[in-house]
Structure 1
């Protein structure tokens, strides 16, 4: 499936951004311009079942990775994925051939979750989103509320097919973690470092690091942009 995209900047280098579940490319509204300021043309996708992209009959990270490969230019200088988007990016990297990859609090390992409760988030009100994310800017809360209107809750199915902890990275790769990270706890982070992954933690940030602490997110990318 060819995905809808949003673009920031006109720099000589290319960065691609992949959002997590329930949201869309607007999750990067505050981070993408800052990345573009480092000399990038930034391309952010709407995953299948999210934003302006079509809904799908099947939702797995592998299918989403195939969508990325169909949509994004090959060989970008930088690829950034968040949560479920990081799982799709992980599977796409060998063929995407990006120079560097950054995985923000990646959803690589299955956790006990209630699929029905996750699907019910589609009906969250603006006030409920605000209460759940007290550190977000009001514009991010509004963008998330708008994203839920077009989100296909069947995409929760993808969380049953996560790839697990990966072996050594194919390209130089950074894992940027929440504090604490429920998706990559300390033991898993240690295992990943032994396999050649770089890890950093954004102190005090929740799962959506780039919205919880935009400045901390950018600081965490120092030396990788």
Structure 2
């Protein structure tokens, strides 16, 4: 595994004025017990490629992201994590793909992992940052763009992947446990900030041992580390900009597109899965998995990805 660190700058205290929560979840308020609210990743609608092209035109706010790479195969796989996560979430999936002939590249989105925070994030700038980082890893700046065999996006990462389709041009896109349907938390800034802060503070190894007994100890350690690195201000700014300029509905399935969901899923109901199937997605379910579907079930997840 190769670790490419960008050396993020210190995060300005002034960014705290933007701290609000990027949530679309079944829950709405922190529990009365005073325990931290459970975090549920952002679920935003997903643009058609033609819409992506117009939205991406002129976007120049990308940053070079920290990335991890596994393997040296000819087939390129790009892995994009969800909210509150990092590229290290793929600590098993990356090597598993490498063992199947892929060169797997996982990125830390802005304000996550070791990537720098940004005060002016948008879904489009995230998409450009991912594509630029993949180009840098592959040293393909002179080419029209990287040749990507497989792209996997989880939750928020699925939305970013959707926006990045015109730039990455993957042969196959895999979206993990994301419904591609709009939602509104209906919460104000203070309430949203309280949820985000509670989620960040409460995602510790000790609490994950209780709430995620099926995860490995390394899974828990990786998630707790990602929570410590997570910058709420960047997530807040992303939500504010998204609220002003939301994306349209599910993406085109003009390229092979797979939706992998947990079974049961808090986010992709059987009814929604059926609707997405009708739109051309190949829908696969992993029984008894959690929202990070591959944790504890890498072989089953890979079977769904490569089916």
Query: TM-score, with normalisation over the residues of structure 2?
Result: 0.68
Q: 2:283 aligns with which of 187, 194, 199?
A: 199
Classify 1:118/1:111 alpha carbon distance in 2 versus 1 (closer, same or farther; 3 Å): farther
Are residue 127 (structure 1) and residue 239 (structure 2) matched?
A: no
- Between 1 and 2, higher relative CO (CA 8 Å, sep ≥ 6) is seen in 2
- Find out whether 1:99 has 2:171 as its counterpart: yes
Conserved? CA contact 2:181–2:250, under 8 Å: no
Question: Which one is further off, 185-194 or 32-41?
Answer: 185-194
Cα shift readout 1:163-221 (whole Å, capped 9, x = no counterpart): 45414324111111111222222222222111111110001111110114223212222
Aligned to 1:183: 267
CA distance in 2, matches of 1:152, 1:22: 9
Q: Secondary structure at the match of 1:32?
A: helix
Larger of the two Rg values belongs to structure: 2
1:16-31 matches, cutoff 5 A: 16-31=78-93
Query: Cα 1:105–1:152, aligned 2, differ >3 Å: closer, same or farther?
Result: same
Separation of aligned partners in 1, 2:201 and 2:96: 31
Q: CA RMSD in A?
A: 1.9
Secondary structure in 1 matching 2:294: helix
1:94 is displaced (CA, Å) by 2.1
Aligned to 1:11: 73
Higher mean Cα deviation, 93-102 or 69-78? 69-78
Say if 2:77 and 2:151, in contact at 8 Å, map to a contact too: yes
Instruction: Find the counterpart in structure 2 of residue 118 from structure 1.
Output: 196
- The answer to whether the 8 A contact 1:9-1:36 is kept is yes
Q: What is the alpha-carbon distance in structure 1 between the residues aligned to residue 234 and residue 268 of structure 2? A: 22
CA drift of 1:67 comes to: 1.3
Number of the residue aligned with 1:90: 162
Change (3 A) 1:83 1:159: farther
SS in structure 2 at match of 1:65: helix
1:80 maps to which residue? 152
Partner of 1:150: 229
Shift of 1:134: 1.6
Q: Is structure 2 residue 123 aligned with structure 1 residue 45?
A: no
CA distance in 2, matches of 1:167, 1:214: 26
CA contact (8 A) 1:65 1:92 kept: yes
Instruction: List alignment gaps of at least 5 residues for structure 2.
Output: 1-62, 136-145, 186-190
Asked if the contact 1:75/1:98 (under 8 Å) is kept, the reply is yes
Gaps of 5+ in 1: none
1:215 paired with 2:296, answer: no
Contact 1:84–1:159 (CA<8 Å) still a contact in 2? no
What is the count of residue pairs matched by the alignment? 223
- The alignment's TM-score, normalised by the length of structure 1, stands at 0.90
| Alignment-derived partner of residue 180 in structure 2 | 108
Aligned to 2:122: 60
Give 2:18's aligned residue: none
Match of 1:139 in 2: 218
